[in-house]
A = this chain, B = another copy of it.
Amino acid sequence: MSNDWRAMWAELGIDLEKHDQFLAALPELYEKTFINQFNRPQAMQYFDFVISEVHGLRVKELVDHKLKGGKVVASFCVFVPEELILAVDAVSIGLCAGAQFPVATGEKVLPRSICPLIKASIGFKLDSICPYFQVADFVIGETTCDGKKKAWEILNDFIPTYVMELPQRKEKEDYDLWEAEVNRLMQKLETETGKAVDFESLSQAVAKVNNRRKVLRRLYDLRKADPVPISGKDALLITQLAFFDDPERFSAKVSELCDELEERVKEGMGVVPQGTPRILITGSPMPIPNWKIHDIIESCGGVVVCEETCTGTRYFEQLTEEGQTISEQLKQIAMRAMKINCACFTPNNERINDILRLVEEYKIDGVIYYNLQFCHPYSIEYYKIERALQAAEIPVLKIESDYSEEDLPILQNRIQAFLEMVGQ
């Protein structure tokens, strides 16, 4: 990244010294994790570039958008309906939440015993080192878990934080509540931007977001091939970047990548030999730069071919159906989210079906259940998932981890042993 951005960062109120410290370790981590992978697709170059400019050029685009009177709205969760944000010509971005660096700062206002994603995100804001937090006009939070629900109250002291109430079951009243929340958000966005949502702007936004979902579906479909034409790390990186990059450019670039992968599949070319243990990751999300588990798996002779996570299939599997009026379209936007099988719902047995289906579709040899430390919903839901996988005779390993490197040796041992077991 060029040094030209320092003036922009300073203007955004970024703590330049801390920001330097934070960024210092990332190029080496990225190089080590991504660059020297075997037979890496050519089209990954674009995503390498995006990462290299994730605090630079992309932020500049957002600053320019704001100079033209546009708004930037930040969120954390696949339940926040991006379509509405785009429909008022605002930019929707994800928030920094995947690094260990700001966790200690997060722990100044939050208990230690909550998940690193929440501690990191609040820490990023308090440390003033996430340009997305700095450029965002406001944050849209949600009530998906106790940790986030209550952390928004604190975050709101530092940046305006609007909260959507996601219901906890999937009964009629819950659909009604969520539809009302989607409508409430539309009003909020109209007020904030001074732009009225009309049918055309909404339809275009739906098409744009659906299109990104479709290219990600295509990417994941290509991962079903054996040998798999792309590493799990690269695929994860792409899903992570989907939260940050311009959706149209991103979709075009993922399409190009898919064209290349399609050729590979035709030729039977992969990034690992056939017979490499194929792993499904399921559980908590993995925001940038959390590549820890994928990296261990792929360094220990396995390959991740699918993620049943919010930085995986839960993000893009469901499309928004097209509606014929604004209110019908809003209803469809609400309905789409309610099809996501997140552990925040009770019961959530559909997730079992999802996992068993993905195991089948992706020819999975073993499942790694990834739980962010202290993430209660996924951690407790493991009980049911484990039983279902055992009944289907699918090996499963539960990993609970934070963003630190302290548990790397233990994780490497456990994952190595698991891969040897499933590879037999």
A residues near B (Cβ < 8 Å) are 109-111, 113-114, 143, 145-147, 149-154, 163, 165, 167-169, 171, 173-174, 176-177, 180-181, 343-344, 346-348, 373-374, 376-377, 379-384, 400
Is there an interface contact between A374 and B377, defined as CB atoms closer than 8 Å?
no
- Provide the bound-state CA to CA distance between A168 and B169, in Å: 12
Is there an interface contact between B153 and A347, defined as CB atoms closer than 8 Å?
yes
- Provide the bound-state CA to CA distance between A175 and B212, in Å: 37
User: Do A168 and B143 contact each other (CB < 8 Å), given the known contacts A180-B173, A379-B111?
Assistant: yes
Number of copies: 2
- Which residues of B are found within 8 Å of A348, using beta-carbon distances? 153
Is there an interface contact between A384 and B113, defined as CB atoms closer than 8 Å?
no
Which of B151, B165, B176 is close to A169, meaning CB atoms less than 8 Å apart? B165
Is there an interface contact between B376 and A114, defined as CB atoms closer than 8 Å?
yes
Tell me the smallest distance from the CB of A369 to a CB of chain B, in Å: 12
Q: Report the nearest B residue to A179, measured CB to CB.
A: B173
- Provide the bound-state CA to CA distance between A168 and B151, in Å: 14
- Provide the bound-state CA to CA distance between A149 and B343, in Å: 10
Is there an interface contact between B163 and A165, defined as CB atoms closer than 8 Å?
no
Tell me the smallest distance from the CB of A348 to a CB of chain B, in Å: 8
Which of B110, B149, B376 is close to A111, meaning CB atoms less than 8 Å apart? B376
Tell me the smallest distance from the CB of A59 to a CB of chain B, in Å: 29
- Which residues of B are found within 8 Å of A153, using beta-carbon distances? 346-348, 380-381, 383-384
User: Do A377 and B150 contact each other (CB < 8 Å), given the known contacts A110-B383, A383-B109?
Assistant: yes
Is there an interface contact between B379 and A343, defined as CB atoms closer than 8 Å?
no
User: Do A346 and B143 contact each other (CB < 8 Å), given the known contacts A165-B168, A376-B376?
Assistant: yes
A-B contact pairs, 19 of them (CB 8 A): A113-B373, A114-B380, A143-B168, A145-B376, A146-B146, A146-B376, A146-B377, A147-B376, A150-B377, A150-B380, A153-B347, A153-B380, A153-B383, A154-B384, A165-B167, A165-B171, A167-B177, A173-B181, A174-B177
